[in-house]
Structure 1
């Protein structure tokens, strides 16, 4: 016969066992099949040799995740930003499930890439261009602990990063260890992305394209290059604003084709970037915050290949993008792109910075903003 103490012990063990099983199940996430492959490679003579030996360059690593039950007709293709890799979307630095798992749980196939010459996509010495990386202070001040540095007014509103966001904090250390050297030249990156991901799109067919930060301009480039294969563009704080860098000196010219480093299709056509005639938008310009907003002088040339691609731009409350994403949206709209701008604070999602999908409320953004957009735009 069990004593009352024995019963208590058994119940306690059962409760602990249930808790462990529940926690383990939660960490496993969505049952899925995983595959990876490379695409877009070219061969070139091995630098410093003349014996006919060759090496491959320009390829991208592609991770393909397929949930056990696929219910959505289109996969989601995710492209990370500068200094990052596709691991951005797998889980968070503090071990929570990430956006890849969330969207698989909703029935989507997922493709995640590493940009050319980055991470698992090989950088070839003597073939690929120079690289640079971010130091820990840059990451803290721009992404993870912006409220401590106050480099722009909205930074003080940041509350959503898990941990304190600085070196020595285990969550920050885990995140910073994942950062990678990146090509210095956004022009070089754009050319290589267009070739490699263009080939990927040809192989996998139509997608929902999700970009972040530096890869924002790739959305416009790929949408222009393969308009029939991109059914919507979801741009999380895309690189901008048009024609010039902002907020952080030096405020040098950039993106000579408006929002891209390389040519995209305008109508009437442009023979060079000089054919685009920028003019200042006073209402969206704030010199004290280091932002000059440009649009095209009327009549504005149209981004004709993007005119049938519904586009969503998402901006966090406390990111530096809160200063100038409206300018990017203005430029897209003026050029005929069907664009919607969701500022997270306006829909009750507060305290996020630039790495919104890793932050404590990241899944709320995925559900209430991104998934809702897909359901209302692509799946309607």
Structure 2
């Protein structure tokens, strides 16, 4: 009977596996934790809202001193880091293989972090055309100059392609109100860090803003930040019109601690550093204020060759450095890695990127 059970399980795994050859994953223990819930009055009772879900993946042998906390971007969930849409190993498994314990969240009001319509406000969904033109088939749309260089997405990146369809099926509605996202992650994410303890925070895209938020609220627990094309540039939207104000505190929509202190966001009084078509890069006036709670936290910003972030991540990096933050900025083509766009951590060369750029940096700052 036991032998039959083993054979049955093997058969199920074999059926579920993709057609391409995929190496086995890393043996690990999986659990989860919720943090930060608040009770709100409902119809005759109460509902819980604003909690954050975190999936905890612990390798059979933990060899690294600090765990990783992974934060996905807008319209996404923590599944981004588990495996790729075409069935290859994701970054979570790579880090498990290197002995890191890994925590992966679903942002508040997203996926397994419950959304309460009477508490959290409206949601929005990224449509399939925007997903193709901004992320997976950018070379076909040419919405920014570097887009033509994109070669690394597996498949066509458009609706009807099975790999795109698998990826788009994983997208979910997200909060419209970015300040609400900031506020709830500041609370729930901070409580999660209190549970985890000191950690390295890795963020992507809109999640990049949340890395700064957590560093602000728990500067002693955030030991480093790896920002994969973090939300930017400071103060104003870029590349895609309308170019409306955003990130009123430079890196976030909610307050950061500056020295000298800032009361209202207008006191930052940003000035134009430079402009290119559809991008205005702002900096602080001289002498610049310092971001007090980020000064002792090393930061790595990673930018791909063909992403729209290639237009302005340098602005975000300049703003951080001007505010006294220690930042290493790696543009992937500068280290011989070409053809990637915004979702590079799940593209064809995803393991090359983490193995040659991200993990060595983490290992170095963890010494």
TM-score under structure 1 normalisation?
0.91
Does residue 37 of structure 2 align to residue 45 of structure 1? no
Q: Considering only CA atoms, is the larger Rg found in Structure 1 or Structure 2?
A: 1
Tell whether the 8 Å contact from 2:65 to 2:366 is kept in structure 1 after alignment. no
Distance 1:91 1:280 in 2: 41
Matched, 1:148 2:148: no
1:174 equivalenced with 2:166 (yes/no)? yes
- Picking from 268, 279, 286, the partner of 1:276 is 268
- Answering whether residue 360 of structure 2 is matched by residue 368 of structure 1, we say no
Q: How many residues align?
A: 351
| Cα distance in 2, alignment partners of residues 56 and 129 from structure 1 | 15
Residue 324 of structure 1: how far off its partner (Å)? 0.2
Question: Per the alignment, in what secondary structure is the counterpart of residue 140 of structure 1?
Answer: helix
Query: Structure 2 CA distance, aligned partners of 1:248 and 1:144?
Result: 17
Query: 1:7 maps to which residue?
Result: none
Paired with 1:256 and 1:192, the residues of 2 have a C-alpha distance of: 17
The yes-or-no answer on 1:29 pairing with 2:25 is yes
Q: SS at 1:293's partner residue?
A: strand
Alignment-derived partner of residue 11 in structure 1: none
Could you say which residue in structure 2 is the equivalent of 1:299? Answer: 287
Structure 1 portions without partners, runs of 5+: 1-19
Match of 1:9 in 2: none
The one-character-per-residue Cα deviations of 1:260-306 (angstroms, maximum 9, x if unpaired) are: 00001000001110110101012xx21x2x00000000110100110
Distance (whole Å) between structure 2 residues aligned to residue 105 and residue 194 of structure 1 = 30
Superposed counterparts of 1:77-96, under 5 Å: 77-96=69-88
Aligned counterpart, 2:306: 318
Aligned-residue CA RMSD (Å)? 1.4
Q: Which deviates the most, 353-362 or 214-223? A: 214-223
Structure 2 regions of 5+ residues with no counterpart? 1-13
1:37 CA drift (Å): 2.0
The residue number in structure 2 matching 1:335 is: 323
Structure 2 CA distance for partners of 1:255 and 1:24, relative to 1, 3 Å: closer
Q: 3-state SS of the aligned residue for 1:249? A: coil
Question: 1:71-93 CA deviation, whole Å, 9 max, x = no partner?
Answer: 00100000000000000000000
**CA distance in 2: counterparts of 1:204 and 1:361, whole angstroms:** 31
- What secondary structure, in the 3-state scheme, does the structure 1 residue paired with 2:290 have? coil
Counterpart of 1:349? 337
TM-score when normalising by structure 2: 0.94
Range that drifts further, 319-328 or 124-133: 124-133
Instruction: Give the drift of 1:129.
Output: 1.2
